[in-house]
Amino acid sequence: MGGVFVGAACAVHCVAFALIPALLLGVGASLGDGLELGLVLSAILLGSMAVATGLRKHRRWAVALLFGVAAVLLGCGLLSDSAGYGLGTLFTLCGSATMIAAHLLNARCCVLPCDSAG
């Protein structure tokens, strides 16, 4: 469940750092880049470990696919920040929501009986 927390923290960060620079006239914008990179890398690292552990137990590749989509969206969010205002935030929020869904699906599959998870 650590991955769910990191994904949620990433979503909160994205919303906060989209609003804070506007409120503080850009002062907070430079503070957000390093934190955003750290949160995304942490979410992907912790998520990878959680998905790998879950796959060994339940063998549901849909979890890995959903996690992969989340990682791509988070990466697009980091890369597209320079493309236009709001686009990076949109990708990152979608990636965070997808990652949370992947973690919840992984947790659900881990508690299902083996014959239900396959």
Structural contact between residues 10 and 44, judged by C-beta atoms closer than 8 angstroms = no
- In this predicted structure, the answer to whether residue 5 has a pLDDT above a threshold of 90 is no
Give me the percent of the chain exceeding a pLDDT of 90.
8
Mean pLDDT of the chain: 74
Give the residue-averaged pLDDT of 42-53: 84
Q: Could you tell me how far CA 61 lies from the centroid of its own chain?
A: 18
Q: Which amino acid is at 53?
A: T
Q: Identify the top-confidence range among 10-24, 64-78, 89-103.
A: 64-78
Has residue 96 got a pLDDT over 90? no
Structural domain including 88 reads 2-117
Rounded to 5°, angle at Cα 1 from 4 and 117? 100
| pLDDT score, position 84 | 63
The encoded tokens of residue 105 equal 């699906």
If one counts the domains in the chain, the total is: 1
Least confident of 48-52, 64-68, 71-75, 110-114: 110-114
Q: Work out the pLDDT band at 70, boundaries 50, 70, 90.
A: very high
Please provide residue 86's backbone torsions phi and psi, each rounded to the nearest 5 degrees: 95, -25
Sequence-distant (≥ 6) Cβ neighbours of residue 64 within 8 angstroms: 51, 55
Sign, CA dihedral 49-52-56-58, equals positive
Task: Report which of 63, 66, 44 is spatially closest to residue 55, judged by C-alpha positions.
Answer: 63
On whether the pTM is more than 0.75, the answer is: no
Distances in Å between the Cα of 4 and the Cα atoms of 38, 43, 53, 105 are 16, 9, 15, 11
